[in-house]
Structures are given as C-alpha cells and as structure tokens.
Amino acid sequence: MNANKLPWWRPVSVVAVVGALLAASACGSGEGGGAAGPESGDGLPPVVRVVSTNPVTGPAAQNGIAANEGHHLAIKEINESGFLGDTTIEMEEVDTAGDSQTAASELTKAITDDSVSAVFGAVQSESAVAQAPIAQNSKMPIIFTQAGSDGVVIGEYTFRLTPTMNVYYPILSKFMKEQGWKTMGILYTAATPSLEMIGEETLPAMAEELGIEVVSSVATQGSTQDFTAPISQLLKDDPDGVAVLLIGAANPTAMTQLRQAGYEGAVLGSAAAASGVLDPAGEDGAGMVWPVGYHPSMEYEASQKFTEAFREEYGEDPMFNSADSYDAAWFFARALKRANSANREDIQKALDEIAAEPWTGALGENLTFTDRILDVPGVVVEKTADGEKLLYYASDVEE
Amino acid sequence: MSGWYGANLILVQNTFIGLVLALSIQFPMRMGVFSFTGAGSYGLGAYLAAILVIDHRFPALAAIAAAMAVSLVVSVLLGLLVQQLDGLYLGMATIAFCLIVSVAATAGGDLTGGPTGRFGAISDFTSGHIYVIAVAALLLVALTEFGRVGRRIEAVREDPELAAAVGINVRAYRLAAFAASGLLGGCAGAMNLLARTTITPVDIGFSLVILALTMIIVGGIRSWKGALIGAVVFTWLPELLAVVGKWEHVVYGALVAAAAIWMPGGLYGVWSDAKYRYRVGRRKAPSGADRSGPRTGAPELRTVGEGVAEP
Amino acid sequence: MLQDLLGAVTLGSIYLMFALGMSLAWGSIGILNFAHGSIFMFAAFVGYLVLAQSPLSLIALVALGVTVGALLSVLVHVVAFEQITRWTKDHRTAEMQILIGGIGIAGIPLALAQYETRSNPFGFTQSSFQPTVHVVGDLRVSDLQVLIVVAAAVLTTAIALWLRHSRQGLALRSIGVDAEVASMMGVNRRRFAIVTMAVAGGLAGLAAVLYTFYVGALTPESGETLIIKAFACIILGGVGSMAGVAVGAFALAFAETLVLTNFGGLWVDAISFSLIFAVLLLRPAGLFGKKAVRRT
C-alpha cells in the first residue's frame, strides 16, 4: 500500500458509518421525546422502579451517600409496612461521581428504560441544572433535594424538597439580635451560587434590618486554601461579629485561623459546615452557628420517628441530606398510592395534588409547597466542643 | 439496537464531541507544537455559543460558526505571541491560557453566569448535526496525513531547521497548527454546549486539558486514529468501570498510568506495531529495505539504509 | 500591614517547600512529577490515620510524613518514570508520557483517601502539638509560622549549597545539563534519580505536615491546587534554579496577598496564571533559568 494515496475503501467506509448513524438517530428513541415509561393500566404493578442519581464518589460524596441512605430507609419502610399493598418499590442507585455530564447521561438512561417511573435527582446544583431540562422535556418526574440554585425546578415534572438557602437563612436574625452586634464582617466563597447570594445579598439585607453595619466583605475563590490574608482583611476594622460562608475544608481552616487571629466570638456559618466537617478544627470550631432544614434534635413527632428509625438502621445520627431524601421517597410513594399507577404522567399529576396539601414528614409538620418547592422553616444549630446543639426553631422567631 | 442507542445517546454524542476536542490537540502535536490551545478554545466556544443562543437566540449552526471564528482569531493571536516557545514551555503557556479562560468564565458576572455557568440553551441542534460535523472535521484532519501536506508536517515536527533549509515556511505551518486547534476546539465546545444545554466553569479548565491529553496519549499521538481510539476509550471507560463500584477512580488512574508507561505510541501504536510485525513476519525479507512499512505510533530509531518515508 | 506581610512570608514558605521538590526533579533529571501533589496529600493523610491510634508529637508526625513522602515518590519513580525513560527513545514523547503517567498515578492515592474520608476534610487535631500564638506588640505570631519560615529557609539554602559545592551536587547538575555525557563520566544516573525523587518526596511530606497544622484541615483534593501554584513558582524563577524557585514562591505569595487585600479574593487565581503567561512571553527561561528558546 502506497502510504501517500488514499485507499478506495476509506471514503466508502466513512460514508457508510455516517449513513448508519444518521439512520440510527432518525429512527432511534430519539432526542428525549420517546420512552413513555410504564403503562397506565389498572392499578400498580408488583414492582415500581425508581432511580437515584447521586454522587457517591467525588467532593460531594458525603452528601450523596447520605441522600441515598435516606431514600433507602424510606423505601424499606414503605415496602415493609405494605403502604402500597402488594406492590414494592425498587430503587437503583447510580453514581454521578460529582460530574454533571454523567448525571445527565444517567438520567437519559433512566428515561429510556420503560420500567422506571421516577428519578431522584442529584444533590449538587451543577448536576441538577443539567438534569432538569432533560427530565422536563422527556416528561420524567424528577424529585430533587438540596440542589439549591435557579434552573432546577423549571416545569411540572420537576420538584424539590428543599428551598434555596436564602429562603430560610433569615431565621438567623434572632441570633444576631441576641448577640448585640453593631458591626460585622462577611467572608464568603463566590464558588457556590447559594453561598454567594447569602454573602452578597441576603445577609447584608438582614444586617441592615437589624441596624448592623457591614464593615468588611471578603469574597474568595473555591481554590483558596490558606485564609490568613482574607481573615486579616475581614478583621481589619475590628467587627463585633463575623460570618463565614464557605464550603468543605475551608470551614475548619477559617475557624482555626480566625481564632489564631484573635477573634473569639460567635461565627455565622452555613449548613456546609455540618456533620463532622468542622471536626478537624477541634475546639476552634465551636461557636459556629447556622440555619438548616433538619437536625436530629428536632422535636416534631414525625422528625423524631425518622431520627430513631435512622439511628436504628445505620447506627449514627442522620445528616440533613438523609431527612430531605427520606421525605422525597415518601412524597413519591404517596403519589404512587394517589395515582394508583406507575405511569409517569399519572405520577406527575399525583405529585402536584399532594403538593397542594399540607406536608408532614421528617422535615416538619404541615409544611406547604410553593411552585413545587417545599417551604422548610428550619432550625438554628450551634457547633459545640462535643457536637451540635439545636438553638431554636424558625417558629421561635418573632416577625 | 435502537433501545441501546437511545439509552446511551449522551455517550455516543460525547464520543463524537470528544473526538473533535482530541483532534484539536492532536493536530498541533503532530506538527511538534505542544499546544493546548484547543482546550481553551473549547471553553471560549462553549461560552460564546451559550451567550449567543440564550441571550440572542442564535440558531445552532450560526452559533457554532461564530464560536469557531472567534476561537480562530484568539488562537492565531496566541500563536503569534508564543512563537518563541517550545516543548514543555509552550505547553505551560497554553495551559495557562486555558486556565485564564476558566477564571474569566468564573469571574464574568451575569454574562458568563459566574460559578453556576449558563443553562437553558435550547436550540434546533440534533445528534445528526454532531455526527456530520465531527466526521467532516475528522476527514479534513485525516486528509492532512497524506500527500505533500502530510510530508511537510512530518518535516516540521522531526527537524524544523532542516525543513526551513529546504524551503518550508515553518512559522506558517506552526501558526496553522494554532489556527486549526482554535477552529476544532471552538467547534467542539460549541457542540457540547448545544448538546448539553448547560456549561459551567468546572467543565472547561484544567480537567479538560487533562482529559484531552489523556485521550491522545493513550490513543496515540501520531494519527487521527489515535484521537478516535482515545475519544472512544475515555468516553466509555467510566461507564465500563462503573461495575467496579467505589474503586472506579483507582482503576481508571492505574489504567492511564499503565498505558503511559508501557504504550508509548498509544493504543494505535500498539496496533500498528503489531500489524507491521505481522506483515514483516509473513514476508521473507529480501535485500533489506522495506519501503512500504507503515508509520507506526512508536518513535523509531532511524538507521541509514532502512527506508522509512522520506520528505 | 505587618500582619499581612507575615502571612505572605509564611504562604511563600509553604509554596517554596512544596515546589522545591518538583523543581529539583524537573531541573536535574528532567522529570515533571504530576503525582507530587497526591504524594503530598497522602503523606498528611497517613499522619491522620496514625493519629487516630496514638497522639503523635510534631517531630514524630514530621518524621512519618517525610518517610511516607520519600517512599511513595521513589515507588512512583521506579514503577512508572524509570520504565518510561527506559522504553521511550524520543525525549519529547518521554516528557509527555511522564506527564500523563504522573497524572494517572496521582489518581490512586487520591481515590484511596477519598474512599476513606468520603472527601471530608481531615486534620491533626489529635496530635499533642497545637500551634500557640504569641502577641508581640501589634503582631500575632504563632510558633508554627516561625517553624515554617525557618524550615523553608534552611532547606532551600542547604539544597542550594549542596548542589553548588558538593561532588554529588555537581554530579546531579551535570545530569541536568547532559545526561549522556554525565553517565559516560561515571555518574550513576539511576542511583541519583532515585535519591533525587526520594528527597523531593521527603520535602513534600514535610511540607504536608506543616501545612496541615497551618490550615487546620486538608481534603484529598488539596494537593492538586498546589501543583498549579508550584508551576507558577518554577516557571517564574526558572527551571533548575533553587534561588529561582525561592524568588518565584515569594513573588507569587506576595502578589496573591497584594491582590487579595486590594482587589478582592476573586482575582487571586487569575494572578498565578497571568504570571505564568507573562513570564513565558517575556522571559521564558524565568528569572534565573538557563534553558534556551526556539530559534526557527
């Protein structure tokens, strides 16, 4: 073969391949209009299938694993109690590995699988934002938890059981008032939209209402690891109080370096510091306070029931992700019962119906949905030397 | 068949888009230009397409064309700036360019959507578009492996001084490498945005550079076939490895490392070496020179007398 | 102001200790070890695991970190880099294989640590050593900061002096200039490569322990961010020059602190990348480097 001349079969094979692909794309199940899911028939089939797409590996692994645990616990209860009669729910867990493209592609696979009735969406905002349009266009009911960003609940097939953080963050005002601060500084990361919004809009608005002056506002990037310089900026004008809105290891680092810089007071934080994230800071971590949708010490009957069941199943206290996802699975199960069908369209209608009624679950009692997002009032939690302490409920805050 | 296709549609699309991305980095490498401009152009192309489609309602193909045009200009400018650099230094400079693009994407305020990126880019884009564009790009790049152009590219890579002495405009060829990587990268980025409807800073950036580089090193840098192999392998590998469960990343890293250590020509190099050896084994060697030996992926010591393709 | 200066000097010392190992390997034996960040993190991670069993002191932790770092580095070299350089005749291709090989291998300690911690942060809270802060006038200094700065200064000087004045240092430098001729002159390239990688790994381990105490918490992904900063330092200062790395590290740390205090934290990364870019354009060899540029 003369290496310089194009052999005849090359262009032919190329044309053949392209032709095959065009044919496949034309007659294949196509761009998401296709699979209808289970049939709408009489009653529920013996097995209903749901897929959970969550990060089990990657930076959000802890949250993804906790979410799956919550789903799993609820489904176990539903099956064992015969809530759906003879029907059982079967959940398949798929790892998104923290990657949005994987999340999108796993969702597409679930959509083309005719036996899948619904999907539990990814907890990470970036992944959720990639999944939402696909689920909506393909008419697949998808229930998200966390994923607090715009572009997630975009149509009648998308639901979310946690509001965006800026909705319940203001319950911290009571704490801020009790501290008696006159000035404060805000240190926040611009890498997460929810924390960026809190740092730039929500918290300053709360401060203004309480008559607190924000004397320093320092934004950092996701890649910042040493906070010495940002903290020195934060404390430059000697504020009475401080807010630290960061993710992951930045929380214990900032607390450690804050104490080293001489600040001993309370610190406003976020749920990103919950459940062991602050442990590497040891004693320096104590004193951080944040609002969160769920805490094991919540006293509502349904919450306590969940907390005990979780402790018994897994031997440790549940994270808020687990409470969110537990309620999500029950939300789905109630819709199944109401619809008496495993068909996706029927389930969507049933979800809407249930969302129109008061909701009681691990997240609270008689909660309401607004535009398919659950309004969770939340509680305020403080990190202490040996764990977390529940300070007060949203309902304790006088308007 | 169509069931499997529908379930894995996204992966099939990603394979083609990944191919164009891999070509955008492989093509300059074939010319000896160690440049990652393709990855930066991918980011530029994706964001530009997002802005055009979401904010200005451009149709898909127009957005791709615009993305390619802008990436072309930026890449050529970059190529002019870094003319003096070579080897790892050139690589570093172009990696820095990619990182600057991702930082600009994060700090771009409302235009680029900050850390959330842009979402909601719905358009008239179909899988058919992706396949046709990708195959067209592949054909164009593959064509440059033949004839005079192919030989000149080899010359510019192997011995630039000699090539210059023979009258080849080395500078122009190297700039062409930047231009091509800009076009290909911008195209891949725009297609990705249109197919996924969202783009975030996390998608473009260092991990993209690493993915593209891994694709062509493990696939084979000497030919478009390597880029194709690499794109297929690395789009589908995570899927296959999902069976391994939690150890997926360890196995992935080990496989990449193993390929880098033991397959210097990449998978394509292994295959073409085997093919060569099979052919030579079958033929009884007459008097030495085997002129029709194919170019292999593995670099070879050239000894005088044993013919390999001359410029 | 003075406080910020101290912070920048400490940060620069951290960058220096991390980048020193990479620069040493790159400049002498031509190996750009992308697994350096992963080795760094894993050394700290092993410390964290051992601390769960018994409360080690600072010295013990440092010794552990240095050992783990050195061993891992040598292991990576023998298993991967040595094989690559042996089997690949073309230096350009070998460089890229080493790059990718390093990246692939870096994923392994990363995945192990991620599995164990679920990507949660880990630290040295159980150690018997905890940094204490002393107030000197307006300035707050911790004993850890002093230790970091002194360690970086001592190590850099020691290595620079050793490279310049000892026979082995001369041998190592000769490998960097022309490996073939060096081996013809009797320099055992393989042994030197292993020693260099061990030292580089040991430096990473030391830096890791001190860094973990300084920032209080590390995640499995922490090493990756530092690699890019290390590039910036090495490129700025010039490959192969110890003085260059030192200048590069402090210049980067000071630039980052300056940007943060005056323009806000969002532009810090842009600084390192723009710095790399600018240096490569204006003076590709770096401030003190010796490599020539293309002429065709």
3-state helix, strand, coil in chain B (%, to 5): 75, 0, 25
Is C215 touching A (CB cutoff 8 A)?
yes
> Does C291 score more than 70 pLDDT?
no
Partner B, chain C 156-175, Cβ-Cβ below 8 Å: none
- B80 to chain A, minimum CA–CA distance in Å? 31
On whether both A63 and A119 belong to a single domain, the answer is: yes
- Best mutation target, C10, C119, C132, C145, to test chain A (most A CBs within 10 A): C119
Average pLDDT over residues C255-274: 82
What is the secondary structure of B122-136 as a DSSP string?
Answer: --S--HHHHHHHHHH
In chain B, what are the domain boundaries?
2-205, 268-309
**pLDDT confidence tier of residue A6, bands split at 50, 70 and 90:** low
Partner residue opposite C121 with nearest CB, options A61, A224, A280 = A280
DSSP assignment, residue B205? S
Partner residue opposite A57 with nearest CB, options B5, B11, B246 = B246
- Best mutation target, A102, A127, A129, A153, to test chain B (most B CBs within 10 A): A129
Q: Do A233 and C260 touch (CB under 8 A)?
A: yes
In a domain, A17, yes or no: no
- B115 to chain C, minimum CA–CA distance in Å? 11
**pLDDT confidence tier of residue A267, bands split at 50, 70 and 90:** very high
Considering only CB atoms, which chain C residues are within 8 Å of A284? 216
> Does A181 score more than 60 pLDDT?
yes
- A254 to chain C, minimum CA–CA distance in Å? 8
Considering only CB atoms, which chain A residues are within 8 Å of C269? 221, 223
Is A222 touching C (CB cutoff 8 A)?
no
Considering only CB atoms, which chain B residues are within 8 Å of C266? 106-107
A108 membership: H or E segment, kind and range? helix A100-112
**pLDDT confidence tier of residue C27, bands split at 50, 70 and 90:** confident
**pLDDT confidence tier of residue A5, bands split at 50, 70 and 90:** low
Partner residue opposite C101 with nearest CB, options B107, B249, B261 = B261
| Helix ranges restricted to H, C77-142 | 82-87, 91-117
List subunits contacting chain C, requiring 3 or more Cβ pairs under 8 Å: A, B
Q: Which two tokens stand for residue A317?
A: 């206290």
Q: Give per-residue pLDDT as tens, A196-237.
A: 889 999 999 999 999 999 999 999 988 888 899 999 999 989
Query: Strands, DSSP E only, in A121-176?
Result: 142-144, 158-160
On whether both A206 and A322 belong to a single domain, the answer is: no
Q: Do B261 and C80 touch (CB under 8 A)?
A: yes
On whether both A387 and A243 belong to a single domain, the answer is: yes
Considering only CB atoms, which chain B residues are within 8 Å of A191? 106, 115
- pTM for the full predicted model: 0.85
Q: Do C104 and B259 touch (CB under 8 A)?
A: yes
List subunits contacting chain B, requiring 3 or more Cβ pairs under 8 Å: A, C
Whole-number pLDDT of residue A14: 67
Amino acid at A312: E
Q: Do A58 and C119 touch (CB under 8 A)?
A: yes
Query: Strands, DSSP E only, in chain A?
Result: 47-54, 88-95, 116-120, 142-144, 158-160, 183-189, 213-220, 241-245, 267-268, 288-292, 359-361, 364-367, 369-370, 373-374, 379-384, 387-393
Considering only CB atoms, which chain B residues are within 8 Å of A14? 135, 139
Q: Which two tokens stand for residue C192?
A: 């030197």
| Phi and psi at residue A49, to the nearest 5° | -110, 135
Whole-number pLDDT of residue B279: 86
> Closest residue of A to C262, CA-based?
A233
Q: Measure the CA–CA gap between B265 and B300, rounded to whole angstroms.
A: 10
On whether both A287 and A183 belong to a single domain, the answer is: yes
Partner residue opposite C7 with nearest CB, options A65, A225, A229 = A229
**pLDDT confidence tier of residue A305, bands split at 50, 70 and 90:** very high
Q: Give per-residue pLDDT as tens, A381-399.
A: 999 988 899 999 988 876 5
Average pLDDT over residues A88-100: 89
Whole-number pLDDT of residue B257: 85
DSSP assignment, residue A125? H
Give how many domains chain A has, as a whole number: 2
Q: Do A3 and B114 touch (CB under 8 A)?
A: no
**pLDDT confidence tier of residue C174, bands split at 50, 70 and 90:** confident
> Closest residue of B to A105, CA-based?
B10
Considering only CB atoms, which chain A residues are within 8 Å of B119? 129-130, 133, 151
With contact defined as beta carbons under 8 Å apart, do A169 and A202 qualify? Answer: yes
Average pLDDT over residues A69-80: 95
Q: Do B197 and A130 touch (CB under 8 A)?
A: yes
In chain C, what are the domain boundaries?
2-220
On whether both A281 and A354 belong to a single domain, the answer is: no
Partner residue opposite A279 with nearest CB, options C125, C214, C221 = C125
In a domain, A25, yes or no: no
Phi-psi region at A124: left, alpha or beta (left = phi > 0; alpha = psi -120 to 50): beta
> Does C20 score more than 50 pLDDT?
yes
What is the secondary structure of A238-301 as a DSSP string?
Answer: --SEEEEE--TTHHHHHHHHHHHTT--S-EE--GGGTTTTTGGGGGGGTTEEEEES--TT---H
- Best mutation target, C72, C92, C119, C283, to test chain B (most B CBs within 10 A): C92
> Does A33 score more than 80 pLDDT?
no
Amino acid at C292: A
> Does A110 score more than 80 pLDDT?
yes
Spans in chain B with pLDDT lower than 50:
297, 305-311
- C88 to chain B, minimum CA–CA distance in Å? 7
In a domain, A86, yes or no: yes
Domain of A284 in residue numbering reads as 167-292+380-396
- B266 to chain C, minimum CA–CA distance in Å? 10
- B84 to chain A, minimum CA–CA distance in Å? 31
Q: A190-199, C116-125, C183-192: lowest mean pLDDT where?
A: C183-192
With contact defined as beta carbons under 8 Å apart, do C106 and C34 qualify? Answer: yes
Partner residue opposite A229 with nearest CB, options C124, C215, C260 = C260
Cβ-proximal residues to A319 (8 Å cutoff; 6+ apart), any chain: A62, A63, A66, A274, A275
> Does C137 score more than 90 pLDDT?
no
Q: Measure the CA–CA gap between A73 and A57, rounded to whole angstroms.
A: 20
| Phi and psi at residue B51, to the nearest 5° | -60, -45
Q: Which two tokens stand for residue C59?
A: 């010295």
- B17 to chain C, minimum CA–CA distance in Å? 22
Most confidently predicted of A55-64, C34-43, C130-139, C218-227: C34-43
Percent of chain A with pLDDT strictly greater than 70: 92
Considering only CB atoms, which chain C residues are within 8 Å of B246? 115
Partner C, chain A 133-192, Cβ-Cβ below 8 Å: 190
With contact defined as beta carbons under 8 Å apart, do C121 and A252 qualify? Answer: yes
Average pLDDT over residues C259-281: 80
What is residue B273's three-state secondary structure? helix
On whether both A90 and A154 belong to a single domain, the answer is: yes
Pairing of strands A142-144, A158-160: parallel
Considering only CB atoms, which chain B residues are within 8 Å of A113? 7
ipTM here: 0.85
Q: Give per-residue pLDDT as tens, B184-201.
A: 999 999 999 998 888 888
**pLDDT confidence tier of residue A2, bands split at 50, 70 and 90:** very low
Considering only CB atoms, which chain A residues are within 8 Å of B151? 4
Q: Which two tokens stand for residue C218?
A: 């590390």
Q: Give per-residue pLDDT as tens, C44-101.
A: 999 999 998 888 888 999 999 999 999 999 999 998 888 888 877 777 778 878 888 8
